[in-house]
Structure 1
Amino acid sequence: MSKVLIIDDNPSIGSALQMLLTLQGIDNDYCVSPTEGLERIDNDASISLVIQDMNFSEGENSGRQGRELFSKIRQRRQDLPIILITAWTQLEMAVELIKEGAADYIAKPWDDAKLIATINNLMALESLQREQMQRANAQQLAQQDLRQQYDLCGLIYQSEQMQSLVELAVKVARSDVPVLITGPNGSGKEKIAEVIQANSQISDGPFVRVNAGALPDELLEAELFGAEPGAYTGLTKTRVGRFESADGGTLFLDEIGNMSASGQAKLLRVLQSGEFERLGSSQPRRCTVRLISATNTDLPDAIRDGAFREDLFYRLNVIELRLPPLAERQDDILPLLHRFLGGQKNLSPSAVDRLLQYPWPGNVRQLENACKRALLVSGADILEADDFGLDLEAGAQSSMQSRMQVEPTRQMIEYVLQINCGVIAQAARQLGMSRQALYRRMDKYGISYQKSSSEQ
């Protein structure tokens, strides 16, 4: 259970605060000295907020003792919210400590309702941050474990959505059931198909790719099933089809939703019987193929419109993997930028801000192409937003800070530190937090740092 610790040498103030908090159902504890308060913090993990006085000796009104206590609490518990109790004579110092990471200050005499509202908000925020931190750490460990156990084929991601999808992909990879990968163009459907093949029981077999939706009817049968010499004008030797080429491995049929009605019928016949014939031959052939298909088409809608066969849909869709657009997994943008730039150049803080705001309608493919363009057109070591050739102003949806919400990920912090050459003040501004808050996140994630002389 969360607890508020009150540290004040005036018993009447301590008693008044304890009574106020108790009446509001807020668990609390009280001590009269900094030494006792620090000991409680060291030994009681349930303390989630501190209310501390600024002076602890008779005749002392400089606030120096309060600053010392604040610093010692920070050394012990970086994320612990601290509310300062201040008289008007220490108001200036209280404001300074707010800039250094104190949560708030209350002036004597205080407003009970405002104080309770502040405490409730801070405790709720602290609980949310703790949950987010735990979730981020758990996700990072899960991703590390996944990469150690499976071949992810260089797949780059950081988001929870992609973590869930990849976990499902490697889970179904060991079976031989057909898989349907859905998602918008350029989102990485083929990469997910590669991951499935690489972790399947037939990973040593061929991985054959076909853009099924781009094949005209007159070529589809020969392309998929092969053709004998003389089957059509100009064919003088046997043409091996994609099904035969994929024997003992995986056949990836991309853009299956654009396949013609005739093509769908022919494909369904093969899936039902397990047999096919080369064009110009009556000899049945069989092969063992794991089928993975992909589409950006809403197949249920296409079925209702009569554009896609329902029986074929159920043959293909034993397992569906939905790949979300990049706009729905914004935590993946920075890692992908880092990969596609290949360490050749860095991004300016304003470029990062604007690229994170962009909705990326072309998804990962558009981001990769934009990075290629930026590397080609810019002669500078630091890339600016305009180098990417995007209508960033029209595409802007929200600020970088709102995307990061309460808790930036470890990878995001590391990347922003990198592009700011380790300058904490610049990185903190870009992340939308104070330097002290950034130091606390770095400590939590175990990111090493050195304070510059200007930041001491």
Structure 2
Amino acid sequence: MPTVLIIDDNAAVAVALDVLFSLHDIAALRAASPKEGLTLLEQHSVDLVIQDMNFSADTTSGEEGAALFRAIRARHPDLPVILLTAWTHLDAAVDLIKAGAADYQAKPWDDNKLIATVNNLIELGQAKRALQQRVQGELRQRRELERGHDLRGMVFQDPATERVIHLACQVARADVPVLISGPNGTGKERIAEIIQANSSVRNGPFVVLNCGALPAELIEAELFGADAGAYTGAAKAREGKFEAADGGTLFLDEIGNLPLAGQMKLLRVLETGRFERLGSNRERQVKVRVVSATNADLPAMIKTGAFREDLFYRLNVIELRLPPLAARPLDILPLAMHFLGPQPNLQLHPDAQAALLAHPWPGNVRELKNVMLRASLLASGDVIKVADLGLPAAADNAGGVAGLADDAHREPDRDAISLALSRAGGVVAQAAAELGLSRQALYRRMERLGIVRP
């Protein structure tokens, strides 16, 4: 049952509020003075405070109420406070609302309005605490992950990315093939590096072959090597990627581009560890951990005969799906700042942050890196603005995201803001982008509506 603390020197007021709350399954504590109220706050778990503005006889300035509010805010900065005030104290109450009070109610109050306000604030506080507990749990898990594993400097904040990294660290210890799927530019090679860095062959070589960057007739020679004269232009013998990766990890990017002949040979190597160079009959033996990656729909390719089903199941012992950047929005701003690393004095204007969060990022992390490089070159001072980003949506809106922020027709209500903050995991900039506001505009609305920042 939620608990409200009533601080009012008028016993009749305190009793009336106590009875009102009991009818709505809300427990109440009562204090007749600021000192007694502060003592009760230290002794009990309280969800909300309702306080008077004056406590001494013949005092109407509201200064005692302001002092009490400041004392509560200093000890419990997130605790919602409702002010009870006569109309003569309205200006003082408004000033405290600007300072963070949740609401004010004029005496005599409207029971229905007061109960609705109290319930809304209690529910918001409960949601906030749940969010804080979740965030704290995620932070603990992230610190444990970072302490116990080599993450190769990967920058992330989003739980979706953390889940992939956590699974990558788990499967790294098992000597089985891993398939990393996801769109181009999402960071699949970095995940492969994490697998290598936390595996039993961490001290061995890490060799990369992009199967989509070579002509089909050269991929086999790249993978398995070739003897002199094996093909036109092969003047001398050459070592393949499997030999180079012996005792370590071979990362095969864009595995869907491997031709069928190469797929058959790759399957044999995965099963036996043996292969021959092109143009050679001598069998060679290697021990290589194979990690592959693709942005293609391999099951669909199997149906058309473009990819071997037996190879797919051999590569896909463990699959890690790396989501597109737009599906892990909490990574966007940390990555953006990371890409400004060589220029630590550069900062992102809040409107630029909102524009980054609102962009769909079809090119994923690679696109974000290019955007930030461009912005760092075009910024005229130490602050990167929306125009410096060169994003299409930002360019179409000459006023920037801030132009939407003050549009009275788009002003969100309390429920819309609370829902956006919840979806954004408490990140104000992200919630602002969803609502079409600048971060400052959202802060002003939160302050006006008494919404506590998660």
| Runs of 5+ unmatched residues, structure 1 | 414-425, 445-456
Q: Secondary structure of the residue that 1:230 maps to in structure 2?
A: coil
Q: Deviations over 1:398-437 (max 9, x none)?
A: 9998997159889989xxxxxxxxxxxx986676676899
1:394: Cα distance to partner? Answer: 7.7
Q: Secondary structure of the residue that 1:214 maps to in structure 2?
A: coil
The answer to whether residue 284 in structure 2 is matched with residue 285 in structure 1 is: yes
1:395: Cα distance to partner? Answer: 9.3
The answer to whether residue 133 in structure 2 is matched with residue 134 in structure 1 is: yes
With 269-278 and 251-260 compared, the bigger mean Cα shift is at: 269-278
Number of matched pairs: 428
- Aligned residue runs from structure 1 range 95-134, under 5 A: 95-134=94-133
Q: Secondary structure of the residue that 1:51 maps to in structure 2?
A: strand
Cα distance in 2 between the residues matched to 1:270 and 1:85: 78
With 327-336 and 307-316 compared, the bigger mean Cα shift is at: 307-316
Q: Secondary structure of the residue that 2:289 maps to in structure 1?
A: strand
Q: Percent identity?
A: 53
Cα distance in 2 between the residues matched to 1:41 and 1:29: 10
Cα distance in 1 between the residues matched to 2:300 and 2:19: 62
Match of 2:146 in 1: 147
Match of 1:42 in 2: 42
Cα distance in 2 between the residues matched to 1:94 and 1:38: 20
Match of 1:10 in 2: 10
Match of 1:19 in 2: 19
Residues 311 and 431 (structure 1 numbering): CA distance in 2 closer, same or farther, change over 3 Å?
farther
Contact 1:157–1:332, Cα closer than 8 Å, also in 2: yes
Cα distance in 2 between the residues matched to 1:214 and 1:119: 62
Residues 403 and 355 (structure 1 numbering): CA distance in 2 closer, same or farther, change over 3 Å?
farther
Contact 2:263–2:308, Cα closer than 8 Å, also in 1: yes
Residues 433 and 171 (structure 1 numbering): CA distance in 2 closer, same or farther, change over 3 Å?
farther
Match of 2:306 in 1: 307
Over the aligned positions, Cα root-mean-square deviation in angstroms equals: 3.0
Residues 179 and 192 (structure 1 numbering): CA distance in 2 closer, same or farther, change over 3 Å?
same
Cα distance in 2 between the residues matched to 1:389 and 1:149: 40
Contact 2:421–2:428, Cα closer than 8 Å, also in 1: no
Residues 372 and 176 (structure 1 numbering): CA distance in 2 closer, same or farther, change over 3 Å?
same
With 366-375 and 189-198 compared, the bigger mean Cα shift is at: 366-375
Q: Deviations over 1:162-190 (max 9, x none)?
A: 22221111111111111111111111010
Residues 143 and 437 (structure 1 numbering): CA distance in 2 closer, same or farther, change over 3 Å?
farther
1:246: Cα distance to partner? Answer: 0.6
- Aligned residue runs from structure 1 range 195-214, under 5 A: 195-214=194-213
Instruction: Give the aligned residue type for 1:383.
Output: I
Match of 1:391 in 2: 392
Match of 1:224 in 2: 223
With 156-165 and 257-266 compared, the bigger mean Cα shift is at: 257-266
Cα distance in 2 between the residues matched to 1:202 and 1:87: 74
Instruction: Give the aligned residue type for 1:211.
Output: N
Cα distance in 2 between the residues matched to 1:214 and 1:258: 9
Residues 237 and 404 (structure 1 numbering): CA distance in 2 closer, same or farther, change over 3 Å?
farther
Match of 1:317 in 2: 316
Q: Deviations over 1:62-117 (max 9, x none)?
A: 21111111111111101000111111111221111111101111122222222222
Residues 112 and 261 (structure 1 numbering): CA distance in 2 closer, same or farther, change over 3 Å?
farther
Contact 1:7–1:34, Cα closer than 8 Å, also in 2: yes
Q: Secondary structure of the residue that 2:55 maps to in structure 1?
A: coil
1:2: Cα distance to partner? Answer: 3.2
Match of 1:362 in 2: 363
Residues 240 and 402 (structure 1 numbering): CA distance in 2 closer, same or farther, change over 3 Å?
farther
1:290: Cα distance to partner? Answer: 0.5
Contact 1:83–1:106, Cα closer than 8 Å, also in 2: yes
Contact 1:74–1:80, Cα closer than 8 Å, also in 2: yes
With 314-323 and 267-276 compared, the bigger mean Cα shift is at: 267-276
TM-score (norm 1): 0.86
